[in-house]
Amino acid sequence: MHQLTLANISKALAAKQFSVRELTSHLLTRIEQLDPQLNSFITLSKDSALQQAEAADELRSTGISAPLLGVPLAHKDLFCTEGVRTSCASKMLDNFVAPYTAAVVDNLNKAGCISLGKLNMDEFAMGSSGETSFYGASKNPWDTSRVPGGSSSGSAVAVAARLVPASTGSDSGGSIRQPAAFTGLTGIKPTYGRISRWGMTAYASSFDQAGFLAHTAEDCAMLLQATAGFDERDSTSAQQPVDNYVEALSQPLKGLRVGLPQEYFDSRLDSRIGDVVHTAIDQLKQLGATFVDISLPSLPHAVPAYYVIASAEASTNLARFDGVRYGYRCEDPKDLEDLYLRSRNEAFGEEVKRRIMIGTYALSTGYYDAYYLKAQKIRRLIKNDFDSAFKNVDLILGPTTPNLPWQLGSKVNDPVAAYLEDIYTVPANLAGIPGLSMPAGMIDGLPVGVQLLAPYFQEARLLQVAHQFQQHTDWHARTPAGF
């Protein structure tokens, strides 16, 4: 059962090949047996999952067969879930039990999904490796000595190891697409505002976007179908019509024009990954797509612009964690200032502190114009680059990451080196466009992802191309040894 995709689970449940409770119990057992070596879960919701499973079985027995009814998944631990710890993988929120449920989780609950628990991540979504978590690093099931990517590390690991068929994630600078590439999954970051951010703990508010990790584009389409749409509780939620993502999957690729940015194929890219990307290009050509060379000239400035703006927003968003209202509080503070200082110093990890300091500095008097304002101007240039490119092409294709997943601990003391791994993913967040990473090959036993980018609200096109590619390749069906 654990080898089935989300779509196949839906079909099997409809055909009564097994019950929701049998499936849920099977996955819970796998998690208890296998996750200690992977560390993908922070909280396992065993009792409530079984209760939800029994309720789903009762509904199915009455003839109700909604596509996601009884399908198990798990959530990145920054989505508030009523009655369940929502820690953001931080000591600061280790004792925080959410009093309400995030919009994306609530929509999936209404669709009938079973929540198996909350997944590990980089602390407050700040990281590209899963190593900044208060609960310890998640490990890549393809090679447990390597990182799985981040910040949605646990979300990727749990799906790749077949502990759950799909998971929620969030993507501020590549935090869904990069771990998807590192673990052989399909990961989609929708257009900014496509899915409500209500109830999602903020890292960088103008970048954060909920999305999904699963084995196939079809699975991602089913999840997006259930969660996309306007939410009046979220001021950044887009009032745009929702496409039929599942129906669009079957559309052929003939006539599709795909751009290849010259900036993606320079000396920063591992040449072996470049070979995988070009093999994927050849496959898509056979399916009817045509390719043209394009340029995104502002791309080299994306990483510094992103980290200035994101850190500035993080310094503001994390100011609310002060030891007063909720979260961690230091012992025996001598006065209010001591309460603030020691609570934040003791509860935040090193990477979170680093980004708060960078952001506060960039926003300070005398440096705002030199750093923050200049970064915002670069952001506009990057958006303009994409706008110009999409006048001539339907999609943009390139590598998801410049390198293979690195060894655990190898970049802990070199944060800039880790930041530079985001070079191909952060531009989409700066511009707010949708992106998807799909598995397209293997190098030395490790998965390699190819990234697709589309114009605003064209998620259906991303999913269509990935689905057609997956109908003619089997990279998405590969399983790590032992899982």
Report the C-alpha gap between 417 and 422 in whole angstroms: 10
- In the block, tokens 């929120």 appear at 93
Question: What 3-state class would DSSP assign to 192?
Answer: coil
DSSP state of 211: E
Per the CB < 8 A criterion, the answer to whether 147 and 406 are in contact is yes
Nearest to 227 by CA among 66, 102, 84: 102
End-to-end CA distance of the chain: 12
Candidate list 76, 118, 139, 189, residue with the active-site label: 76
Sheet containing strand 114-119, strands side by side: 41-44, 114-119, 72-76, 166-170, 210-214, 186-189, 435-443, 446-453, 395-399, 257-261, 290-294
Dihedral angle at the C-alpha atoms of 92, 94, 97, 101, nearest 10 degrees?
A: 80
Candidate list 45, 87, 153, 175, residue with the active-site label: 175
Report the C-alpha gap between 394 and 18 in whole angstroms: 42
Element (H, E) at 274: helix 271-286
- β 435-443/446-453 pair status: antiparallel
Question: What 3-state class would DSSP assign to 76?
Answer: strand
Active site residue 175: yes
Cβ burial of 479 (10 Å; 0-12, 13-18, 19+) is: middle
> In sequence order, which residues have a C-beta less than 8 Å from that of residue 272 and are 6 or more positions away?
443
Active site residue 411: no
Give the angle subtended at the CA of 370 by the CAs of 414 and 372, to the nearest 5°: 70
Candidate list 138, 151, 167, 315, residue with the active-site label: 151
Cβ burial of 248 (10 Å; 0-12, 13-18, 19+) is: middle
How far are the Cα atoms of 241, 291, 461 from residue 455, in angstroms, in the given order? 15, 17, 9
Phi, psi of 448 (to 5 degrees): -130, 135
Report the C-alpha gap between 396 and 258 in whole angstroms: 5
Q: What are the residue numbers of the active site?
A: 76, 151, 175
